[in-house]
Amino acid sequence: MFKLLSYNLKLALRNIRRNPVLSALMIVAIGIGIGASMSMVTVNYRFSMNPVPQKSDVLHFVRLDSWSADFPFNDGKAPPNQMTYLDATALLREHRAFRQAMMSRSSLAVEPENREERPFFVNVRATTADFFPMFDVPFRYGSGWSATEDEAVQQVVVLGAETNERVFGGEDSVGRNIKLSGSNYRVVGVLEEWDPLPRFYEPTGGTGLVEDIFIPWQLVITKELPRTGNTNCWRPLQGDGFQAFLNSECIWIQFWAELRNENERAAYEDFLDAYVTGQKELGRFPRPLDNRATPLMQLLDELGMVPDEAQVLLGLSFMFLAVCLLNTIGLLLAKFLGKSTEIATRRALGASRRVLFQQYLVEAGLIGLGGGVLGLGFTWLGLKGIDAQFDDEAVSRYMTLDWNMALVAVVLAIVASLITAIYPTWRACNVQPAAWLKAN
């Protein structure tokens, strides 16, 4: 049996080498087809990843419909994607969920201790204490701050791995001070590399990177820090100045709650409705009640994280793969059918159908396998190629081949090579598949 296989392998290699150009074409065609479709599968997969797989069931994005009666947000399909200061602080104060955090984006200048070095700006996430345990943020040194520090508006900071590397050379900087936009902050924690994909917690669009500095949210108020996220208002401010802004109907804060089961979620939504009903009496919330605590994956689904372009390209790439497979099947078929005489001769010389089938399957399989291996390479190359089109660092994270996708690529390669190999082989040997199966 082994002898026969090695004989068939030798024949197959000889046959492949007899038409080097066309054999190469077949292999490259399968390879490119797999490369094209696998890179698009990977991109789509990366865009639709679960950023917090271990907790996605309990994380809920909280939305209140505080919008205008005349021109509802999003045509009334969903409540606004952010919250007003009034509502976010009220919900946080009520503390009705197991955990909850409000957050917004800002920007601060890091002034290195070394006066030689120029200050640099970093994106900052201002948030409240529960952010870290709620999202399972991994710490290398120290920890997040506590609710007490939130209340006392302490100037504390959690550094991302990159900033800690840049400012403190990667050392354990807990307890040390860092100067941010003119004032000193005490480092309480340093993160491990943390890059949830997508950066889910600010679902207002964009593929942005995770911020690298975290500060207590209340500092946004006391220091009147700049807002670098989206701010959206439906109603003019009722006065001038920062306080008027805080009291306005402008939305700019994201609010998350950890609700451990359906009961907690239902209770929380009841609480939201009760809160909004109370606010209605103060003349706010002109729209009908639409307040939601949406589980993370449902939210991502609703937002449609995968860009249309990626989905269209995925479809096109599968058609592309189909063309490549049709191409190779056609070529193999034409090649094998040209061998009818040789096949007849071999049959006459005592080769059974099964042996012949094996011989041609080995040849076709080798071509498919070659294409599959090449396809893995093309997948990697394709992702690199797409990545190279973008300067934006945040995009690169979606153009990475991970082990899961490499495995899928291997499976796709095997399936594609089998599809390519079996039909022409079967036609060449003209066996009934049923008979063939029986023979096995």
Partner 1 sequence: MEFGPIWRAALRNKTGILLIVLQVAFTMAIVINSIAIAQERAKQMSRPSGVDEANTFSLNSSGFAADFNSRLTVEEDLRQLRGMPGVTSAVQINAIPLGGSGWSMGLKTKPGAEIESVPTAVYFVDEKGIDALGVKLIAGENFASSDIRWREPATRDWADKIIVTRALAIKLFPEEEGYGVGKVVYINDTEPMTIVGVIDRLQMPWSGWTEGVEQSMLVPEHLVGNSTAYMVRAETGRRDMLMPQVETLLAESEDGRIIRNLRTMEETRKRSYEGNQALINILTVTIAILIGITTLGVAGLTSFNVTRRTKQIGTRRALGASRKAILRYFLAENFLFTAIGVTLGAVLAVGLNMLLVDVFSIPRFSWYLLPLAMLTLVLIGQLAVLVPARRAATVPPAIATRTV
Query: Where along the sequence are the contacts to partner 1 (CB under 8 A)?
Result: 21-22, 25-26, 28-29, 32, 36, 68, 70-71, 107-109, 111, 118-121, 181-183, 224, 226, 235-242, 244-245, 308-309, 311-313, 316-317, 319-320, 322-324, 326-331, 333-335, 337-338, 341, 385-386, 389-392, 423, 427
Name which of 295 and 307 has its Cβ closer to partner 1: 307
Please give the C-alpha separations between residue 35 and each of 24, 31, 171, 414, in angstroms, as whole numbers.
16, 6, 42, 13
Smallest gap, in angstroms, from Cβ of residue 306 to partner 1?
11
Smallest gap, in angstroms, from Cβ of residue 70 to partner 1?
5
Alpha helices in 199-307 (DSSP H): 219-222, 242-246, 262-281, 296-303
Name which of 274 and 381 has its Cβ closer to partner 1: 381
Name which of 20 and 350 has its Cβ closer to partner 1: 20
157 neighbors 186 (Cβ within 8 angstroms):
yes
Instruction: Count other C-beta atoms under 10 Å from residue 71's C-beta.
Output: 9
367 neighbors 375 (Cβ within 8 angstroms):
no
Smallest gap, in angstroms, from Cβ of residue 146 to partner 1?
28
Smallest gap, in angstroms, from Cβ of residue 109 to partner 1?
3
Instruction: Count other C-beta atoms under 10 Å from residue 1's C-beta.
Output: 6
Torsion of CA 320, 321, 327, 332, to 10 degrees: 180
Main-chain dihedrals φ then ψ at residue 198, nearest 5 degrees: -75, 170
Name which of 6 and 19 has its Cβ closer to partner 1: 19
CA distance 90 to 131: 17
Main-chain dihedrals φ then ψ at residue 327, nearest 5 degrees: -55, -55
Smallest gap, in angstroms, from Cβ of residue 75 to partner 1?
13
Smallest gap, in angstroms, from Cβ of residue 143 to partner 1?
28
Alpha helices in 77-178 (DSSP H): 85-94, 131-134, 147-151, 161-168
